Structure 1
């Protein structure tokens, strides 16, 4: 039995080492390990024991633990992929997989028709004069002239919602052609309110939850002292450098001064070792012009530039989003995603062999808002970029694909509907009686993770919880809590336009207070 255990452990270690070699920071990790092995602390006479002791003494052990932590997270992110008849399927439900493929073809046709209509290629090399111009204006890209008049977003959240409404489960018989009021015909398991309360139990039980007093004009002495204690504890957590401890610390909120560092540690986004990669992406932007660039520029202008909280970050958002379109490492997201990148013929490349855009992600209207709030965390575009990329690869990609994963936009919609129907029945019935689909009211909140709808500080408090609990389920929970909080006003109106007016301004809401109320109550949201 002992021999079997040793063999099993040995095979597990071999598999783990093989997987660690695929990580982005493996080369840096290996170089540090070589330095330790060549140090005076390691002797040839007792190589194994002295090497292990040297690893324990420095930061190598923490780095190794973090590497395993990141690998386990990525492995868990990929667990929905199943193997059937020796063919790897990224989506287990056939009708969802077909719907996603149809949606991707629709996006591709939209891009190609836009190129024909405007008369520009999907991608081309920039003329030298244009290269010099964009290089000189890199830090002021808002002054870089480009014609965007005839451009339109490829799709908007409302277009994607219509696609979700059109999903049809072949095992479910439709008894009526009338509109469906929920997604009950899609067999996805989501958490109940009791299960959410257990998952987020630390929020409900917290005596000091950073963010609860954000809207208080004058804070009392004990609260200020409590915040100072949290800052000191957070600094010690960062010195330790262990990602799971940072994640646990984040469950009670992050001090503003430490939030960026905590998030970077949890996601493993090491900007220092990736600076060269960012500069290479910048060069690709300078050397090649793409239709996607214009769509990104248009999106920044239509969203962040029209927002009082984000318009000052216009230039840095251009830099971050344009570099993102060239980042081929983003293609790794399709290992976890139910979607596939678009393959299209490009000039000088054989048909069907080029991914477009290079990162495989076609932006929708509002895509920029995944990055805009991060401008409050970083002054430098390089750590901002890698933080944005880390969040997208871990969470945001699920918000614009058709998938049965419980963290997908479809799963979040189902979670919202079931919570609202069961715990705010009067409001649910009111909406149904006036032919208002409940999900239409909040879908834009869900698909953008509330970015652009909540004030930045409140939004960052919400995203703290997304990272701390490694779950997007807090987003539909907050959506239900907001509707519950404004229920009396919502019951007084009977049209979708008036409901949107009631919910248009969320600036007075406190995210942590609403979530704590929702998670503490015995039955009601």
Structure 2
């Protein structure tokens, strides 16, 4: 038995060493290791022992632990031995595969039809004059002239919701047409409230949790001292990724949030200004239809929000760079979805991924990036943190899959929590033929961005990172409906329900979540 354990450890070490060579920060790590090996602290006669001691003394051990932490997260081997070959978690349900393929064809058809409507090519070279103008106005892209009057989004969240409603399990026989709107017949396993309480037990039991105070905490309150203590502890932990994640479970001080997020997501190792400038050059070189869609989306969403309009120029920069980033294509490695292929005008004419990152933005897509603007003054770490967050979480919210963190799984989780623990609201909706998902879908697909106050939203996203799960989104959606239950039971149409929920500015996210997790929801 001991021999098998030794072999397993040896194979695990070999696998990790091989994978570390492929990581973005390997060259920097290897250079630091060489410098350490050549230092006076390492003697030639006791080379191995001295080197191990030197690694343990400095930051090398922390850097190595961070690298392994990010590798494990990226490969999602929580329950699998790392010595096994990577098992790609592609879609196992055929009818969901077909639905995703059909949806992608529909998006491509909509994109091609949009090109014909407004009479432009999907891509073309920018003229020299256009390049110079864009470069000159790069920091003030809101002044860059582009015609957007006839432009419309390729699709909106409500279009995607109708696709989800049309999903049908071929192994399930519908009893009546009344069940078409229900997700119960889709055999996806989601957590129960008891399992969620166990998963978020630290959140449920925490007393000193930053963000639990009222929205108008006065100066000199106890939170001020608590936040100061958290800042001191955060300064000690912010270089260590696993510690950062644990630290974040009790909330993030505003001054440290950007560094904590970057460390947990691993974006601090990827924040290369050279890579960012290369993406910028690609934007300057090519003009694509997606640029106009992004510009239109920023204008329709962030620019019309009094919390985000000040970030208009930087949002143009990072979202345009995002469309050119081929590194984002990695999200397709573990998915049945495929990027769209289109013919690009070049010499020679060629068919290639469109856009370069493979992502067609929907109406409101910009709101994945807007809240991150509060964390950074520099667009480089801002961009890479947004990209890492998208690759880790947000890409699942506009794809059809059976993954428990996918939008379908989150919708089913919301539905089952509401049905089992808020039966009065559920029955009220049913009696008035109102689908509960229609009420909250816009919250779920955008991660509540644009609906909560920025500070409350960032507290919510802290919990996503700390617990590495999007399940907090449907949990919060149920908590909000429960909190507004008395008012909801007084109205019986979807527009009236939406009007009751249009203003969430008075809500304290962590208080609602903690209240829901501490005990049974009262009915």
Matches of 1:87 and 1:457, distance apart in 2: 38
Name the structure 2 match of 1:147.
Answer: 147
Deviates more, 1:98-107 or 1:43-52: 43-52
Counterpart check, 1:330 vs 2:328: yes
Equivalent-residue separation in structure 2 for 1:428 and 1:220 (angstroms): 43
Query: Is 1:300 matched with 2:298?
Result: yes
With over 3 angstroms needed to count, the CA separation of the structure-2 counterparts of 1:423 and 1:114, relative to structure 1, is same
Name the counterpart of 2:406.
408
The verdict on how the C-alpha distance between 1:7 and 1:352 changes in structure 2, with shifts beyond 3 A counting, is farther
Mark the CA change 1:220 to 1:491 in structure 2 (over 3 Å): closer, same or farther.
farther
Indicate conservation of the 8 Å contact 1:343/1:352, yes or no.
no
Bigger CA drift: 113-122 or 211-220? 211-220
Aligned equivalents of 1:6, 1:137: Cα separation in 2 = 60
Maintained 8 Å contact 2:72/2:78: no
Q: 3-state SS of the aligned residue for 1:354? A: strand
2:39 aligned residue: 39
Task: Name the structure 2 match of 1:316.
Answer: 314
Is the contact between residue 399 and residue 406 of structure 2 (CA under 8 Å) also seen in structure 1?
yes
Change (3 A) 1:174 1:349: farther
* Conserved 8 A contact 2:204-2:518: yes
Superposition pairs for residues 31-110 of structure 1, below 5 Å? Answer: 31-76=31-76, 90-110=90-110
- Match in the other structure for 1:360: 358
How far, CA to CA, are the matches of 2:277 and 2:269 in structure 1? 12
Deviation at 1:524, TM superposition (A): 3.3
| Aligned positions, number | 518
Structure 1 stretch 350-359 or stretch 455-464: which is displaced more?
350-359
Distance 1:382 1:273, change over 3 A: closer
Matched with 2:83 is: none
Give deviations 1:323-364, integer Å, cap 9, x for gaps. 000011111111133321112222237777411100011100
Match in the other structure for 2:376: 378
Does residue 218 in structure 1 map to residue 218 in structure 2?
yes
Q: Residue deviations 1:238-278, cap 9 Å, x none?
A: 2xx11011100100111111111111111111267511100
Structure 1: any 5+ residue segments left out of the alignment?
Answer: 81-85
Matched residue, 2:510? 512
How far 1:46 sits from its partner (Å)?
Answer: 2.6
Answer yes or no: is 1:470 the counterpart of 2:468: yes
Q: Residue 51 of structure 1: CA displacement?
A: 1.7
- Write the distance in 1 (CA, Å) between the matches of 2:67 and 2:169: 40
- Please say if residues 181 and 432 of structure 1, whose CA atoms lie closer than 8 Å, have aligned partners that are also in contact: no
> What secondary structure, in the 3-state scheme, does the structure 1 residue paired with 2:426 have?
helix
Asked if the contact 1:271–1:382 (Cα under 8 Å) also holds between the matched residues in 2, the reply is: no
Distance 2:26 2:270 in 1: 15
Q: Is the 8 A contact 1:299 1:368 kept in 2?
A: yes
Give the corresponding residue for 2:159: 159
CA contact (8 A) 2:270 2:384 kept: no
- Please tell me whether residue 125 in structure 1 is matched to residue 125 in structure 2: yes
5+ long unaligned stretches in structure 2: 81-85
Residue 200 in 1 paired to residue 200 in 2? yes
Q: For residues 66 and 88 of structure 1, what CA distance do their matches in structure 2 show? A: 23
**Matched-pair contact (CA < 8 Å) for 1:300–1:318:** yes
Counterpart of 1:178 in 2: which secondary structure?
helix
Shift of 1:15: 1.1
- CA distance 1:523–1:141, shift in 2 (3 Å): closer
Structure 1 residue 149: Cα displacement:
1.0
User: Which of 463, 472, 485 does residue 487 from structure 1 map onto?
Assistant: 485
CA–CA separation in structure 2 for the residues paired with 1:66 and 1:132: 42
Deviations 1:291-317 (A, max 9, x none): 000000000000000101111110000
- The correspondence for 1:461, drawn from 450, 459, 462, is 459
Q: Is the 8 A contact 2:425 2:485 kept in 1?
A: yes
* TM-score normalised according to structure 2 size: 0.95
Summarize the Cα distance change of 1:320–1:484 in structure 2 as closer, same or farther, 3 Å threshold: same
1:206-235 CA-to-partner distances (Å, cap 9, x unmatched) read 111111114134366433222221121111
Provide the secondary structure at the position in 2 that maps to 1:120.
coil
Distance 1:181 1:101 in 2: 22
Residue of structure 2 in register with 1:17 after alignment:
17
Query: For the structure 1 residues 2 and 514, does the alpha-carbon distance in structure 2 shift closer, same or farther, using more than 3 Å as the test?
Result: closer
- Call closer, same or farther: CA 1:129–1:383 in 2, change over 3 Å: same
Report the TM-score, using the length of structure 1 for normalisation.
0.95
The corresponding residue for 1:83 is none
What's the CA shift for 1:7? 2.6
1:500 pairs with one of 473, 492, 498 = 498
Give, in whole Å, the separation in 2 of the partners of 1:353 and 1:21.
Answer: 32
Deviates more, 1:344-353 or 1:392-401: 344-353
CA distance in structure 1 between the aligned counterparts of 2:212 and 2:6, rounded to whole angstroms = 50
